[in-house]
């Protein structure tokens, strides 16, 4: 149940307004978007990455805001108050960072244990495997992340990987009210650096890997890395689980004394879980493990070496949280592939189609390497790069596709305001033989060509959009689902 707290008590950790007559105003609904303010809402006016919410204070007041908490500035310094049209405005320093704490006081948590997963790739798969596995051992669990928020079989769409601080806290509170005992959250670098999860207490924090992404926001890889590491040194994280097969993770292990290391290779580090043997087949992965929780063997219906790593991380998390190892081994075969993450589509006498969200150089490289372990024929890849995003990764992905795939088709992937032909040229700049690569801007047409010109033993990787069912163009958003294309086109040919 949402709490109502008076304005003075809400702000008492940051500023004292108890002497004012209006300080007893009841606060029960915080709102960042002035367009969504209703009578009785308390408007939060922060300085965002793209928008200054303080510009909309008058609009929020006209819509019925009962109070405004605004980001302080040189003109309106910390602790300053004013009353505008009978509505109090309080100015607070570092409001964006404090927002998580404010939301926590309105939407408290009591019995929902939280697990944070950060890293460039693998967050969605790891969080959903954790939630699935908890459910399989009769513990009600939910997720917050890229493919949606909620319980695994009833995910509600999410705008961002990590929502704003109010959305995150409110959603977690609602999930607890619905019976969630555990929630696994994808925590993005944006979410960490902007303080969106600052007040949350994590039972476990997980690091999957780090590779080039979001440099349009962070500027450098060093800044990007520090944003990820802040989960462990600037947030409440009781237990760290680190993938040390990633070089950044291996380095971080030296800074985190009580961390548990996870690896697909034998380790002598005492606090570790590692794979003794991993076997891949068209049916999935079998993995023998050993380490601080003893040995065992699991079988899962997932594809690829990085999914072996993801499964091992998820299993280690549940073991650290006290789940019985025998239960995990017994239920592992029931784990389902995550939507749009190395998702397999098949039809008789046709090439296999894999739909995956890989949209970074590292993710594309890992996906292609993984499929080589499963492929008996030619390996195709269909991919593009997003517009208005990190331009530097485009030639890198072109080089990787040319080196690892037998056939390459470059297509569109959310070109946004950019000219798709120029995005293709950026990709081709990293290739030694760009003339040998097919370009087809329509994703469905690209997949249709690959299916019609492939052999049954071939594999076609449709990379970049995964679970997404839309394409962002310069002037509109259109329907576009690789998963639906795969089902339709394989069915048409069959």
**Residue 148, annotated as binding a ligand:** no
- Is 124 labelled a binding residue? yes
Q: Is 123 annotated as a binding residue?
A: yes
79 appears as a binding residue in the annotation: no
For residue 203, the number of C-alpha atoms closer than 13 Å in the C-beta half-sphere is 17
120 is in an annotated binding site: yes
CA distances from 207 to 42, 117, 325 (A): 36, 6, 22
Rounded (5°) CA angle 308-309-312: 85
Q: How far apart are CA 299 and CA 336, in angstroms?
A: 12
268: Cβ–Cβ under 8 A, 6 or more apart, which residues?
A: none
Residue 465 contacts residue 357 (beta carbons within 8 Å): yes
DSSP-based three-state secondary structure for 349: coil
Residue 234 in marked binding region: no
- C-alpha closest to that of 354 among 344, 364, 362: 344
| 413 marked as binding residue | yes
Where b means 16+ CB within 10 Å and e means fewer, 38-56 reads: eeebbbbbbeeeeeebbeb
Residue 340, φ and ψ in degrees, nearest 5:
70, 15
340 is in an annotated binding site: no
Is 160 assigned to a binding site?
yes
Annotated binding-site residue? 119: yes
Q: Which helix (H) or strand (E) holds 231?
A: helix 221-233
Residue 270 is classified by DSSP as S
Would you say 271 is a known binding-site residue?
Answer: no
Residue 121 assigned to a binding site: yes
Q: How many CB atoms lie within 10 A of CB 332?
A: 24
77 is in an annotated binding site: no
162 has binding-site annotation: yes
Task: Let me know: does 186 contact 162? Beta carbons within 8 Å.
Answer: yes
The 3-state DSSP class for residue 376 equals coil
125 is in an annotated binding site: yes
195 is in an annotated binding site: no
Q: Report d(CA 398, CA 103) in Å as an integer.
A: 44
> Would you give the distance in Å from CA 133 to the centre of its chain?
19
* Separation in Å, CA 445 to CA 63, 395, 442: 48, 23, 5
6: annotated binding-site residue?
Answer: no
Token representation of residue 104: 């926590």
Contacts of residue 328, defined as CB under 8 A and 6 or more positions apart, other chains included, come to 133, 137, 298, 315, 318, 319
Residue set of the binding site = 32, 34, 119-125, 160-162, 188, 194, 196, 389, 413-416, 464, 468
- Please enumerate, by residue number, every residue annotated as part of a binding site for ATP: 119-125
Annotated binding site for meso-2,6-diaminopimelate, which residues?
Answer: 389, 413-416, 464, 468
């Amino acid at each position: 149940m949402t709490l109502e707290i008076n304005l003075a008590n809400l702000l008492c950790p940051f500023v004292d307004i108890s002497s004012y007559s209006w300080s007893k105003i009841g606060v029960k609904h915080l709102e960042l978007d002035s367009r969504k303010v209703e009578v009785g809402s308390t408007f939060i006016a922060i300085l965002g990455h793209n928008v200054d919410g303080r510009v909309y204070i008058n609009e929020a007041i006209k819509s019925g805001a009962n109070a405004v908490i605004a980001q302080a500035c040189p003109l309106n310094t910390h602790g300053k108050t004013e009353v505008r049209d009978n509505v109090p405005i309080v100015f607070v320093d570092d409001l964006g960072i404090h927002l998580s704490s404010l939301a926590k006081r309105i939407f408290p948590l009591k019995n929902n244990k939280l697990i944070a997963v950060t890293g460039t790739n693998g967050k969605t798969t790891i969080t959903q495997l954790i939630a699935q596995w908890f459910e399989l051992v009769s513990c009600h669990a939910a997720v917050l992340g890229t493919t949606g928020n909620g319980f695994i079989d009833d995910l509600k769409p999410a705008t961002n990987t990590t929502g704003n601080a109010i959305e995150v806290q409110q959603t977690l509170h609602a999930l607890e009210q619905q019976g969630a005992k555990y929630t696994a959250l994808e925590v993005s670098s944006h979410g960490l650096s902007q303080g969106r999860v600052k007040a949350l207490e994590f039972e476990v924090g997980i690091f999957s890997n780090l590779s080039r992404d979001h440099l349009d926001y962070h500027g450098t890889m060093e800044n990007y890395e520090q944003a990820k590491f802040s989960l462990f040194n600037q947030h409440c994280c009781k237990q760290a689980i680190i993938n040390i097969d990633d070089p950044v993770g291996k380095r971080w292990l030296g800074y985190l004394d009580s961390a548990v290391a996870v690896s697909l290779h034998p380790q002598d580090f005492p606090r570790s879980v590692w794979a003794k043997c991993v076997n891949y087949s068209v049916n999935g992965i079998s993995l023998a493990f050993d380490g601080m929780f003893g040995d065992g063997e699991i079988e899962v219906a997932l594809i690829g070496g990085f999914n072996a790593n993801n499964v091992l991380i998820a299993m280690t998390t549940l073991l650290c949280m006290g789940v019985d190892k025998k239960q995990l081994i017994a239920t592992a075969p029931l784990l389902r592939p995550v939507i749009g993450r190395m998702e397999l589509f098949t039809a008789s006498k046709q090439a296999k189609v894999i739909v995956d969200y890989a949209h970074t150089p590292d993710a594309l490289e890992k996906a292609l390497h993984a499929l080589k372990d499963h492929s008996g024929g030619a390996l195709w890849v269909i991919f593009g790069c997003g517009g208005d995003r990190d331009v530097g990764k485009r030639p890198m992905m072109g080089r990787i596709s040319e080196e690892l795939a037998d056939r390459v088709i470059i297509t569109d992937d959310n070109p946004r305001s950019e000219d798709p032909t120029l995005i293709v040229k950026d990709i081709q700049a990293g290739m030694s033989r760009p003339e040998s690569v097919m370009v087809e801007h329509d994703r469905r047409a690209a997949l249709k060509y690959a299916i019609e010109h492939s052999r049954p033993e071939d594999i076609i990787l449709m990379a970049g959009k995964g679970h997404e069912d839309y394409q962002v163009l310069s002037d509109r958003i259109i329907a576009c689902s690789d998963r639906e294309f795969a089902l339709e086109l394989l069915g048409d040919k069959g």
